[in-house]
Chains A and B, each alone.
Chain A
C-alpha cells in the first residue's frame, strides 16, 4: 500500500524560504520508472506543477519558478524535499506530493499525498 504525507510549516512570512518534506512508503524511489513530484493548488484555483525528481536523479522544474525551487530526494529515508525561496502571499496554496509512474507510453501521477496548506503572510 502506497502512502505519502507532506509536512512542513503552515505559515511562513514573505521573503522566507519554505521547506516541505514528503515522507512515503510502499514503493522505492530507486525503482526504474518511478518519480516524485510536487504540485500546488491555490484556494479555489487550478493545479500547478512545481518540480519532479526521477529514480535516476534527473530533475525538472516549472520554468516560471525554477529559480526559486530545489527538489532533493533521500532514498534511504524515503523522503523527498522541496525548497522554495522568497515566498510571497501569491504562493499561498495547498502543496501536494505525488508519485509518478513512467513507462514508454505514458506517465502519470498515480498516488497523491493529502496535501498541506501553506499560508504566506506577515
Chain B
C-alpha cells in the first residue's frame, strides 16, 4: 500500500487533456513539493515535473503540475500516443523521514 494514492489507470484520446491525481497527507504533499516521474516499459523513470510545477528543460509544456493542500495533479494537454506510459508522484515525508511514491498510474492513449 503506497503512502501516496494515485488512480491505477487513466486514458484519453489524442488531443485531449488528461489529469492524474496524487493524494497524500500533511507530512508529505501538505508540506513538501511534489515530483512526477514518467516511465516507459523496461526503462528507468524520468523526471517530468519537480517542485510541484517546474518542468526540466526538454519536457514539453504540454505537461504541467499543480498542488493544493494535500493533493497534487499532473495535467497532460494535447495528448499524444507517445505519452502512453506509467506516471508516479513522489514527495519527501517528514514523519517517515524518507521519500514516498504513489502506486503509479498507467496512462493509455485510446
Contacts and interface: CB of A to CB of B under 8 A. Distances in A.
Contacts of B104: 46-47
Contact of B100 (A37, A49, A110, A112): A49
Given A108-B47, A110-B47, A60 B98 contact: yes
7 contacts: A46-B88, A96-B44, A106-B50, A108-B35, A110-B50, A114-B44, A115-B44
A110 B103 contact: no
A46 B99 contact: no
Interface string B79-108: 000000000101010001111111110000
B104 to A, nearest CB: 5
Interface residues of B, number: 26
A46 B39 CA distance: 11
Contacts of A48: 101
Interface of B: 2, 33, 35, 37, 43-47, 50-52, 54, 56, 88, 90, 92, 96-104
Contact of B45 (A52, A61, A63, A112): A112
B60 to A, nearest CB: 17
Chain A interface size, under 10 / 10 to 19 / 20 to 34 / 35 or more: 20 to 34
A47 B50 contact: no
Interface in A25-58: 37, 39, 46-49, 52
Contact of B101 (A47, A60, A115): A47
Interface of A: 37, 39, 46-49, 52, 60-63, 96, 98, 105-110, 112-115
Contact of B37 (A37, A47, A105, A113): A47
Contact of A108 (B50, B97, B100): B50
